[in-house]
Chain A
Amino acid sequence: MPLHRRHLIDVADFSRDEFDTVLDTAVSMRQVLDRPIRRVPTLRGKSIVNMFFEPSTRTRVSFELAGKSLSADVVNVAASGSSVEKGESLVDTFHTIQALGADMVIIRHACAGVPDLAARHLDCGVVNAGDGLRGHPSQALLDLFTVREHAGDLEGLKMVIVGDMLHSRVARSDIWAFARMGAHVYLSGPPTVLPPDFGNLLNGDGMVRVEYDLDRAIEGADVVMALRIQKERMAGGLLPDLREYARRWGINPARLRRADRQVLLMHPGPMNQGIEISSDVAYGEQSVITEQVTNGVAVRMAILYLLLTGAH
């Protein structure tokens, strides 16, 4: 089944069928990655431009490998800082990329909405690789994929996301994705970075609950995802200190034992071990954190394949 989209900007409006389409395609892409020669000619002749206006290793390399595994030409544009600081406007940069010729632009930017701006100015497809606090759709898709590989169906699964929701684009995309697929999503973290309104994010279209007490939230959980805690949040008065955070919201063996025995422990990376996640669980048997990374390439291959070959 094709994906009737030119762009992947947000998963908030994805249907269950669309999620399934990407995940099913990712299964075959994952098989390609398990072969000795991890390359198929599917996107030969297509040009993909990586425009990362924020530092990123994991996501950028993941998209690059995904594109190359499909035989596309992948170019990395070294872009840093805001366009305002550079003097050239972002829109000018888009026009330049357009003129150079690209079939797909993959964008990460510190400002929410930049992929939408790109889609308005570019004739080619746009993939959001993370925009401000708004979304990180490929991460949500790879998280869904990882859980589905283990659990099969997501319907009724108890998913707990722990940490700084307010400043997490991963959380925003994951909440939409998991809730839309039928999971029961529990959010836990300090109230300063988890406003109660997060429980209303979906407007009743899916189950999301805010539970500040992590020990209660984690009870019987099937999936636990710890979010990276940004150390600079302490300065703004949002959190007292890391010690307090680790004690109340850090994932450690004792806490994890309150979850289901088969619980999957996830983290979008990069981790602050000893803060939001203790080292022993990060590499413990319940952890699927490195699987997430591998699956990321397969899911991004699926995204590029569906967007670049689909009927839209």
Chain B
Amino acid sequence: MAANGTLVIRGGRVIDPSQRLDRVADIVIDDGHVAAIDPPDGQLPLGDPTVVDARGLVVAPGLVDIHAHLRVPGFEYKEDLASGTRAAAAGGFTTVCAMPNTNPVIDSRSVVEYVLEQAAADAVVRVHVLAAISLGQAGEQLVEMGDLSDAGAIGFTDDGIPVASSKLMRHALEYATQLGRPISNHAEDRALTAGTAMHEGLTSMRLGLPGTPRQAEEIMLARDLLLAELTGGRYHCIHVTSGGSVDFIRRAKDRGANVTAEVSPHHLTLTDDLVAGRTEPVSAALPPYDANTKVAPPLREQRDCDALLEALRDGTIDCIATDHAPHALHDKDLEFAHAAVGFTGLETALPLVLTLVHDGRLDLVEAVRRLTVEPARCYDLPGGTLQPGQPADVTVFDPDEEFVVEPSLLLSKGKNTPLAGMPMHGVVHRTFVDGVEVFNRASLEPVGARAG
């Protein structure tokens, strides 16, 4: 399919919260841009357009993921830009933001450029890059934020390693004010997380696994939010997991701090008891101590999920981000204490969020908002919208279609999911970037490649 032809996505339920749109319509795409959103089944434009039948399906702006570990450079055995962005497309994402905890760390212009060059060559969706806050993520010396920003870094984070020094965090926030780029931090107090492997609670006590209390996150997040107030710096809270953290974010926003926040699909929907294993449904049975349930920050309890959902609904938490963290089998098939942390997430994010929609706890339009325009806003990214004139990044999905999570069928190299065998709802049928189809479920293979 050529980017410079005309494409009509016909008869789908078009949900675009950026323009308060939720109605059945045809989307006309011309030269890779949204040309018009027309009443359904009208006359086709001239020039023999390609027609995609989207009747019965949702047509939304391509999803935007502002938190993904694409593992390039250095950990290509876990993921590379080809596999990671194909996984993204299969999950309905048309934009992914790569985290800098790579080897070497993304802390210099040359590494940013390398990743963006790799993306230009291999990626099927848009790739943005975050850079580290400190050189080598060592928590000591600031990176050249100006140069990195000029090279394309959209924000700064030592994600994976908390910035322990309050002083360094203060200066990062201060220094970045000139650039307008957000700072984010893996907010976990390392004195409280040392040697731990899961959330501290009754389950960790039963399993004999040292646990991390919520306060490990809350203490550091509260500090960061106070420093954001002090400096006027722009701070983005990543992978928020606890109800207490939500209270701190709400307070900071009320006080006018320049703060945004994201939550992962798994922290919204899964709880720490998974570490003790799962027997129901049988197809998705998990043994106890399965490292595919290990993630940092850890899965918490239902009351946290409830508080996070409430915060997402009232806007305290702005958006959903996957924290896609692919790992190889040998990173995970280990003692629980030694296994790598994280879930492969790009291809299960939408179905996990849709569990909340199917339970009647989250409106579908709201879900789309938190996966499109809102994450884009957190980093001032284009995309997440179907406004006429904008690049035609579109995802077409069936929110009700059932499927069973089969790790071997995931396009990501990372098969590390606690959802193996789980029946879920929500299947992405097609994904378009710049009007080019980059994923088509029917062919079970991504097709085409993004132009340029």
Contact = CB atoms under 8 A, between A and B. Distances in A.
A120 interface: yes
Interface residues of B, number: 18
Nearest to B288: A116
Contacts of B338: 82-84, 111
B205 A195 contact: yes
Contact of B206 (A12, A82, A83, A91): A12
B209 interface: yes
Given A84-B334, A90-B334, A132-B337, A113 B207 contact: yes
B335 A109 contact: yes
A120 B289 CA distance: 11
A134 B208 CA distance: 4
B335 A117 contact: yes
B51 interface: no
Nearest to A176: B206
Interface in B13-58: none
Interface string A117-136: 10010000000000111110
Contacts of B330: 89
A132 B202 contact: no
A172 interface: yes
Nearest to A10: B288
A34 interface: no
Given A109-B335, A113-B335, A132 B208 contact: yes
Contact of B289 (A84, A91, A117): A117
Interface residues of A, number: 29
B205 A131 contact: no
B210 A133 contact: yes
B205 A111 contact: no
Interface stretch (A41-49, A196-204, A257-265): A196-204
A169 interface: yes
Contact of B209 (A89, A133, A197): A133
A84 B331 CA distance: 11
A248 B338 CA distance: 36
A156 to B, nearest CB: 25
Interface in A172-202: 172, 195, 197-198, 200-201
A169 B210 CA distance: 12
The 9 closest A-B pairs by CB, nearest first: A113-B289, A134-B208, A133-B208, A111-B335, A112-B208, A111-B337, A113-B336, A116-B289, A84-B338
Interface of A: 12, 82-84, 89-91, 109-114, 116-117, 120, 131-135, 169, 172, 195, 197-198, 200-201, 203
Given A197-B205, A201-B202, 5 more contacts: A84-B338, A111-B336, A112-B207, A117-B289, A132-B209
14 contacts: A82-B338, A91-B334, A109-B335, A110-B337, A111-B336, A112-B207, A112-B336, A113-B335, A117-B289, A172-B208, A197-B201, A198-B205, A201-B205, A201-B206
